[in-house]
A and B are shown apart, each in its own frame.
Chain A
């Protein structure tokens, strides 16, 4: 049964606003579930509307996130938290790419298409690069910087190889003539949907609990950088942690817990790291629609939809830039 349905009818709008605000990556679904039941039970006892008893849903949710949220849950739910989360992230990105491409074909009114070897190679190159880019991001978030570089470089090399092969074979190598639109659409969306289905089959596992000391340190180092800490500060933390182990007993995991969780808890209180994370995420969110806008301006594929698509992408980029600027972290002097 949906949790919202358990709320008294009159309080459901309040409950929806509360649930949206409290559903943050650092709060587990079990904690949200338990807290929601507490609120419902208090409401029934008091027999008073939720806004009169609890006040603003945003404020109470913010306080609950502060109390119930943990770094362990945030790391576990992140793209780098495990195979299931990583596959979900990659599958969502691929599905978005596939659906967008299908929509472009739809706007052009292409109902049948000849599939040639050269363009097909380029499509495979782009698909390979997209998978590699998303996989590299999940590895970066998990603090595996070495593998991030390997996968990123591998994706670029694969795409370059596909483009080179397409240029070598040249145009005119017809593979299949007159493929219907719906077949192409399935072909474009299938990789993403398949990855999402596989993700559903993979169980969500708890965070890894067995670490050799050198593995732990490597991952801690990588995670600190992926959380936005400066190189100098990361080295200082590593030195402190090493000294802490010399004073204490047992290995790094026994003393400091999961390396990515520790890195996150250090980065959350570091103002320059918060500013760096904000810069990375804002730049990406603004650059993507603007870059797409530029690509659409050079493309003939959109026909009459080119100008509306460009305006939509440009406005999206501007709105994202404005929203992001309004939510920028405050610069604090140490």
Chain B
């Protein structure tokens, strides 16, 4: 699987990790992923995932007026989102450990 493929498969965990440190708008989430060496993510993938996380109660969204231009939607992680992130990290760690044991 390509880096983009891994990124797509683990997108909810990556988004929750990015939002754990501070609330961000959609483009900010994508920029944070690029900053750590991942690929920029298009709205076609990012937005439906954000909507799903919001529907699941893992994140919340608020409209904030921008200094210039129209308002921006800012996403923050919620209590259940932190719990979900902890579970996802645990599963990821278990998976990575098993993969490393195979010499991956």
Given the interface pairs A243-B71, A255-B42, A256-B43, the reply to whether A269 lies near B26 with Cβ below 8 Å is no
* Interface locus among A1-9, A13-21, A196-204, A244-252: A244-252
Q: Is the CB of A244 within 8 A of B43?
A: yes
In the complex, A7 Cα to B70 Cα: how many Å? 59
In the complex, A248 Cα to B34 Cα: how many Å? 14
Q: Is the CB of B73 within 8 A of A255?
A: no
A-B residue pair count with CB separations less than 8 angstroms: 56
State which of A239, A257, A269 has its C-beta within 8 Å of the C-beta of B55. Answer: A269
Q: Is the CB of A269 within 8 A of B43?
A: no
Q: Is the CB of A262 within 8 A of B48?
A: yes
Given the interface pairs A256-B42, A257-B42, the reply to whether A247 lies near B72 with Cβ below 8 Å is yes
User: Is the C-beta of A242 less than 8 angstroms from some C-beta in chain B?
Assistant: yes
User: Is the C-beta of A301 less than 8 angstroms from some C-beta in chain B?
Assistant: no
User: Is the C-beta of B69 less than 8 angstroms from some C-beta in chain A?
Assistant: yes
Most A CB within 10 A of own CB, among B26, B43, B51: B43
Complex contacts, B52 vs chain A, CB 8 Å: 269
Q: Is the CB of A242 within 8 A of B70?
A: yes
State which of B27, B48, B69, B71 has its C-beta within 8 Å of the C-beta of A248. Answer: B27
Complex contacts, B48 vs chain A, CB 8 Å: 262, 265-266, 269
Q: Is the CB of A255 within 8 A of B43?
A: yes
Q: 0/1 per residue, A303-334, Cβ < 8 Å to B?
A: 00000000000000000000000000000001
Q: 0/1 per residue, A264-284, Cβ < 8 Å to B?
A: 011001110000000000000
User: Is the C-beta of B44 less than 8 angstroms from some C-beta in chain A?
Assistant: yes
Q: Is the CB of B51 within 8 A of A257?
A: no
Chain A interface residue count, Cβ-Cβ cutoff 8 angstroms:
23
In the complex, A153 Cα to B70 Cα: how many Å? 38
In the complex, A251 Cα to B30 Cα: how many Å? 17
User: Is the C-beta of A101 less than 8 angstroms from some C-beta in chain B?
Assistant: no
Complex contacts, A190 vs chain B, CB 8 Å: none
In the complex, A146 Cα to B54 Cα: how many Å? 31
In the complex, A43 Cα to B51 Cα: how many Å? 41
Complex contacts, A245 vs chain B, CB 8 Å: 43
Complex contacts, B51 vs chain A, CB 8 Å: 237, 266, 269
B17-57 at interface with A (beta carbon < 8 Å): 25-28, 30, 42-44, 47-48, 51-52, 55, 57
Q: Is the CB of A246 within 8 A of B70?
A: yes
Most B CB within 10 A of own CB, among A242, A261, A265, A271: A265
User: Is the C-beta of A156 less than 8 angstroms from some C-beta in chain B?
Assistant: no
State which of B26, B55, B57, B71 has its C-beta within 8 Å of the C-beta of A244. Answer: B26
Complex contacts, A255 vs chain B, CB 8 Å: 42-44
User: Is the C-beta of A93 less than 8 angstroms from some C-beta in chain B?
Assistant: no
Q: Is the CB of B47 within 8 A of A244?
A: yes
A261 to chain B, nearest CB (A): 8
Q: Is the CB of A241 within 8 A of B44?
A: no
In the complex, A254 Cα to B47 Cα: how many Å? 14
Q: Is the CB of B47 within 8 A of A240?
A: yes
Q: Is the CB of A246 within 8 A of B44?
A: no
State which of B25, B27, B47, B72 has its C-beta within 8 Å of the C-beta of A241. Answer: B47
Q: A246-B69, A246-B72 are in contact. List 20 more A-B contacts (CB 8 A).
A: A240-B26, A240-B47, A241-B47, A243-B25, A243-B70, A244-B27, A244-B43, A247-B26, A247-B72, A248-B30, A248-B43, A255-B42, A256-B44, A256-B47, A262-B44, A262-B48, A269-B48, A269-B51, A271-B55, A334-B57
Q: Which residues of B contact A (CB under 8 A)?
A: 25-28, 30, 42-44, 47-48, 51-52, 55, 57, 69-73
**The 5 residue pairs across chains A and B that have the minimum distance between CB atoms:** A247-B27, A257-B44, A255-B43, A265-B48, A256-B43
